[in-house]
């Protein structure tokens, strides 16, 4: 069952570009580029995307797809998204990133041997901000802030010597907040990001920061709230968001966001 609720965006004042500039500084030269490798059996916050959800999310990219679109998946896991893409994506330039080399199988390695495909075995946070993409699709890892103490997902592995910018992103933010914001910085203007994330951002204090950030950096075209069954064998709520990096539309009074409630896949 699917319910749709459309709400008009409140008219927003013009937002100076300083917020995006702060984020770019936060995620650029001040980042620790020597990211730690995952420890054996380390919890990296991975909950993998089901094939049916992957197809649903890929469908949300289609209206923005061009024949030679560049697409980023910053945390491929078992390569679910790119493997599920159909023939109309065949000429796209695909870049996948994965820090957990245990997930990179021979089949995945062969997938990236094809032309226009590139696999980076390392941390997304080491990807230079100069690399821009038309589309981003992702299921970012879920790690609560109190667990970002050490290992591959430590805050020291994510940022380095940024004491003057600690107020940019709330300290209680989940790891997926960092993934979303850095992904937006890699989008070209009018680029589209589709992401599945836990629904905690709808109710938490760091979620308020995320909502405000998304409106400053572009607009949310749609939110799909899955009450359960979004992930296999994990009964938790999740949301799929479709974000467009289109700053010019923030002034338009007729902008609207669509919120869908989906009880099950």
Residue 74 within any structural domain of the chain: yes
* Other beta carbons within 10 Å of 118: 11
Indicate the number of domains in the chain.
Answer: 1
pLDDT at 65 (0 to 100): 97
Contact 203, 237 (CB under 8 A): no
Q: For 43-61, what is each residue's pLDDT tens digit? A: 555 678 888 999 999 999 9
- Ranges 5-14, 21-30, 36-45, 107-116: which has the least confidence: 5-14
Instruction: State yes or no: pLDDT of 34 exceeds 60.
Output: no
Choice between 30 and 244, residue whose per-residue pLDDT is larger: 244
- CATH number of the domain within which 199 lies: 3.40.50.150
Q: Is 6 helix (H, G, I), strand (E, B) or coil?
A: strand
Q: What is the Cα–Cα distance from 216 to 218, expressed in whole angstroms?
A: 6
Residue 39 within any structural domain of the chain: no
Residue 173 within any structural domain of the chain: yes
Instruction: State yes or no: pLDDT of 109 exceeds 90.
Output: yes
pLDDT at 169 (0 to 100): 77
Q: For 210-258, what is each residue's pLDDT tens digit? A: 998 899 899 999 999 987 666 666 667 789 999 999 877 554 444 556 8
Residue 51 within any structural domain of the chain: yes
Burial 161-192 (b: 16+ CB within 10 A, else e): ebeeeeebbbeebbbbbbbbbbbbbbbeeebb
Residues 6+ away with beta carbon under 8 Å from 107: none
- Short-list 6, 5, 24, CA closest to 184: 24
Q: What is the Cα–Cα distance from 114 to 251, expressed in whole angstroms?
A: 43
Residue 37 within any structural domain of the chain: no
pLDDT at 226 (0 to 100): 86
Task: Please state the length of the chain.
Answer: 265
Contact 194, 242 (CB under 8 A): yes
Q: Which range of residues forms the domain containing residue 228?
A: 2-8+16-32+45-262
- Between CA 191 and CA 200, with CA 196 as vertex, the angle to 5 degrees is 120
End-to-end Cα distance, the chain: 9
Q: For 110-169, what is each residue's pLDDT tens digit? A: 999 999 999 999 999 889 999 999 999 999 988 654 444 455 544 555 554 333 334 567
Instruction: State yes or no: pLDDT of 15 exceeds 50.
Output: no
Residue 253 within any structural domain of the chain: yes
């Amino acid at each position: 069952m699917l319910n749709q609720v459309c709400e008009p965006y409140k008219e927003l004042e013009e937002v100076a570009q300083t917020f995006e500039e702060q984020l770019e500084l936060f995620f650029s030269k001040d980042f620790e580029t020597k990211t730690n490798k995952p420890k054996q059996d380390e919890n990296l916050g991975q909950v993998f995307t089901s094939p049916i959800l992957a197809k649903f999310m890929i469908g949300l990219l289609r209206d923005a797809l061009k024949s030679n679109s560049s697409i980023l998946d910053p945390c491929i896991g078992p390569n679910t998204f790119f493997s599920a893409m159909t023939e109309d994506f065949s000429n796209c330039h695909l870049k996948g990133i994965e820090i957990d080399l245990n997930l990179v199988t021979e089949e995945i390695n062969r997938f990236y041997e094809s032309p226009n495909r590139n696999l980076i075995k390392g941390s997304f946070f080491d990807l230079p901000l100069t690399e821009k993409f038309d589309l981003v699709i992702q299921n970012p890892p879920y790690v609560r802030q109190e667990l970002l103490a050490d290992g591959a997902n430590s805050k020291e592995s994510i940022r380095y010597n940024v004491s003057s910018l600690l107020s940019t992103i709330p300290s209680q933010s989940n790891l997926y907040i960092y993934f979303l914001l850095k992904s937006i910085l890699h989008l070209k203007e009018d680029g589209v990001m589709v992401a599945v994330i836990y629904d905690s951002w709808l109710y938490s204090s760091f979620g308020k920061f995320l909502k405000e950030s998304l409106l400053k950096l572009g607009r949310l075209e749609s939110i799909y709230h899955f009450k359960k069954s979004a992930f296999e064998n994990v009964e938790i709520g999740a949301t799929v968001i479709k974000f467009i990096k289109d700053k010019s539309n923030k002034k338009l009074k007729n902008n609207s966001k669509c919120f869908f409630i989906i009880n099950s896949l």
